[in-house]
A = this chain, B = another copy of it.
């Protein structure tokens, strides 16, 4: 656990948004002015593999990261791209219920709401 890795994780945990790698880089740079994007990406990768943060492959071209590792869903603003949490009970057994509709072996699902955030609406 290097210092830069710790700062990345702490900063992500201290924020309720779902920043992109670049946004994390901008935040972390305030404390570690010499840190590089490569380090940010590499650490986000190892931390997500260790289960200490979540990598969110939401609509849009950039990955986003979440310090909350519990399973939950997200809403995305179609205008500004902002991503918030939306908490409701997980669609349980969705895969089991739909298994007969597909010849794929269903293992998971991802559900993303979209709309307008308070600022954009």
Chain A residues near B (Cβ < 8 Å): 57, 59-60, 75, 77-78, 84, 86-88, 94-95, 98, 101-118, 121
Taking a contact as CB atoms closer than 8 A, the residue among B86, B106, B107, B110 that contacts A102 in the complex is B86
Q: Are A109 and B102 in contact (CB-based, < 8 A)?
A: no
Decide: A113 near B108, CB < 8 A? Known: A59-B57, A86-B101, A88-B101: yes
Bound Cα distance from A38 to B118, whole angstroms: 37
A93 to chain B, nearest CB (A): 13
- Complex Cα gap A113–B104 (Å): 10
- The answer to whether A114 and B118 touch across the interface, beta carbons within 8 angstroms, is no
Known contacts A84-B102, A101-B88, A102-B75: A114-B110 contact under CB 8 Å: yes
Interface core residue of A60, A105, A113 (most chain B CB under 10 Å): A113
Task: Please give 7 more A-B residue pairs, beta carbons under 8 A apart, in addition to A59-B110, A86-B104.
Answer: A57-B59, A84-B103, A95-B113, A105-B116, A105-B121, A107-B116, A108-B113
- CB nearest neighbor in B for A102: B86
